[in-house]
């Protein structure tokens, strides 16, 4: 009888990243809707350079930009999450349970929701509530640009042959630079979106920029 042979299947099953394309296309659709309907056919230049008193529908634009930022950030960093906590993984709704993207998305939504609520309360507590609307109007421009960078990084991460382990260090440096740039952007913007007194500025940066970021890091990576 012929001796049995062991056959090794060398066919590689490619990773299915269709969900990434669906999310990114949805994000682009949201921006097309925002620019054509909410911003009334404004050009990209007009949108980024518009002044606060000339703008309208600031709240819907801020909400859409926040949604796109949360989605793209979750897509990018979800693959680096070590593991979904067991107490979260054991929760099932209609037979479904959260994967790494779902867990990351919920944590990032929680992060931005709490951060925005505390920011609103901060401005109200110091008696400068009117500046809150100027703040989120200005921050919308910043996150609008950041979200496009995140879309580019998502495409490169999932559809180009890169070493993801090495890229984590580059992502860490990139987000560190973005954080530092954002702080200076807020401090020196011509709209003067931070409180005028220096100790309020220091309090805002420590409690509403640094502390929530440390919490986000702990929830995702520890």
Contact 75, 101 (CB under 8 A): yes
C-alpha dist (Å) from residue 20 to 9, 26, 29: 28, 10, 14
**Structure confidence at residue 50 (pLDDT):** 87
**Structure confidence at residue 15 (pLDDT):** 58
Cα-Cα-Cα-Cα dihedral sign, residues 37, 40, 41, 47: negative
Contact 84, 99 (CB under 8 A): yes
Residue labelled with tokens 């640094």: 210
Tokens of 151: 């879309």
- pTM of structure: 0.86
Q: Helices marked H in the chain — which ranges?
A: 18-33, 44-49, 58-77, 86-89, 100-125, 130-159, 164-188, 198-205, 211-221
**Structure confidence at residue 9 (pLDDT):** 41
The helix/strand/coil state of 63 is helix
What does the pLDDT profile of the chain (222 residues) look like in tens digits?
A: 444 444 344 444 445 788 999 999 999 999 999 999 988 888 888 888 888 887 778 899 999 999 999 999 999 999 888 888 777 777 777 777 888 899 999 999 999 999 999 999 999 998 888 889 999 999 999 999 999 999 999 999 998 888 878 888 899 899 999 999 999 999 998 888 988 888 898 888 888 888 888 888 888 887
DSSP state of 41: S
How far is residue 200's CA from residue 23's CA, in Å, rounded to a whole number? Answer: 38
**Structure confidence at residue 51 (pLDDT):** 87
Tokens of 61: 């634009």
Contact 98, 91 (CB under 8 A): yes
How far is residue 123's CA from residue 130's CA, in Å, rounded to a whole number? Answer: 8
- Looking from the CA of 116 toward its CB, the CA atoms found within 13 Å total 17
The helix/strand/coil state of 194 is coil
Contact 63, 12 (CB under 8 A): no
**Structure confidence at residue 175 (pLDDT):** 92
């Amino acid at each position: 009888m012929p001796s049995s042979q062991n056959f090794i299947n060398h066919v590689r099953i490619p990773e299915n990243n269709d969900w990434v394309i669906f999310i990114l296309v949805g994000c682009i659709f949201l921006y097309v809707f925002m620019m054509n309907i909410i911003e009334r056919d404004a050009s990209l230049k007009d949108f980024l350079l518009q002044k606060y008193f000339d703008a309208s529908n600031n709240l819907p634009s801020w909400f859409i930009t926040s949604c796109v930022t949360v989605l793209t950030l979750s897509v990018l960093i979800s693959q680096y999450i070590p593991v979904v906590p067991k107490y979260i993984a054991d929760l099932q709704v209609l037979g479904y349970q959260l994967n790494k993207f779902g867990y990351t998305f919920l944590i990032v939504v929680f992060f931005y929701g709490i951060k925005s609520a505390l920011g609103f309360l901060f401005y109200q507590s110091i008696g400068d509530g009117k500046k809150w609307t100027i703040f989120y109007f200005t921050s919308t421009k910043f996150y609008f640009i950041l979200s496009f960078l995140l879309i580019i990084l998502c495409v490169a991460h999932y559809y180009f042959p890169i070493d993801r382990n090495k890229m984590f260090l580059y992502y860490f440096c990139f987000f560190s630079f973005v954080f530092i740039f954002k702080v200076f952007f807020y401090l020196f913007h011509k709209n003067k979106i931070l409180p005028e007194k220096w100790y309020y500025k220091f309090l805002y940066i420590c409690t509403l920029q640094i502390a929530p970021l440390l919490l986000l890091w702990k929830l995702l990576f520890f």
